[in-house]
Amino acid sequence: AGKTDGKGQFRFFEASQSRLIQSRLQLKHRLIEAIELDQFVLYYQPRVDARTGRVCSMEALLRWIHPQHGLVSPLEFIPLAETSGLILRIGEMVMEKACRQIDAWRRQGLPVVPVSINVSPKQFARGEVHRQLAVHLARHGIPPSLLEVEITESAMMGEQAEVLAELGAIRSLGVKLHVDDFGTGYSSLSQLQKLRMDVLKVDRAFTSELGNSREGRVFFQAIVSMAHALGMVVVAEGVETGEQLTILQELGCNEVQGYYLARPLPAAAIPAVLMQGNLFVKPAVAIAAAAL
Q: Does 118 bind Mg ion (CB under 5 A)?
A: yes
187 Cβ neighbours under 8 A, 6+ residues apart: 153, 156, 157, 179
120 lies in the binding site for Mg ion (CB under 5 A): no
**CA gyration radius for the chain?**
19
Map the footprint of ligand C2E across residues 273-292, applying CB under 6 A: none
The answer to whether 150 contacts Mg ion (rule: CB under 5 A) is: yes
Query: Where in 182-221 is the site for ligand C2E (CB under 6 A)?
Result: 204
Shortest Å distance, C-beta 98 to ligand C2E? 9
Nearer to ligand C2E, 118 or 187 (CB): 118
Q: Does 148 bind Mg ion (CB under 5 A)?
A: no
Chosen residue from 147, 187, 238, 253 binding ligand C2E by CB under 6 A: 238
CB of 180 to Mg ion, least distance (A): 4
Which of ligand C2E, Mg ion, none has residue 74 at its interface (CB below 5 to 8 Å by kind)?
ligand C2E
CA of 64: how far to CAs of 1, 22, 52, 96, 110, in Å? 10, 17, 33, 16, 26
Q: Does 180 bind Mg ion (CB under 5 A)?
A: yes
CA quadruple 187, 166, 258, 80: dihedral positive or negative? negative
221-235 b/e (C-beta count within 10 Å ≥ 16 → b): bebbebbeeeebbbb
Report, in Å, the least distance between residue 272 CB and ligand C2E: 19
- The count of residues interacting with ligand C2E (CB under 6 A) is 21
**Binding flag, residue 181, Mg ion (CB under 5 A):** yes
Closest CA to 86 of 28, 133, 125: 28
Q: Residue 76, interface with Mg ion (CB under 5 A)?
A: no
Contacts with ligand C2E, residue ranges (CB under 6 A): 45, 61-62, 73-75, 78, 91, 94, 118, 120, 150, 180-181, 204, 238-240, 258-259, 264
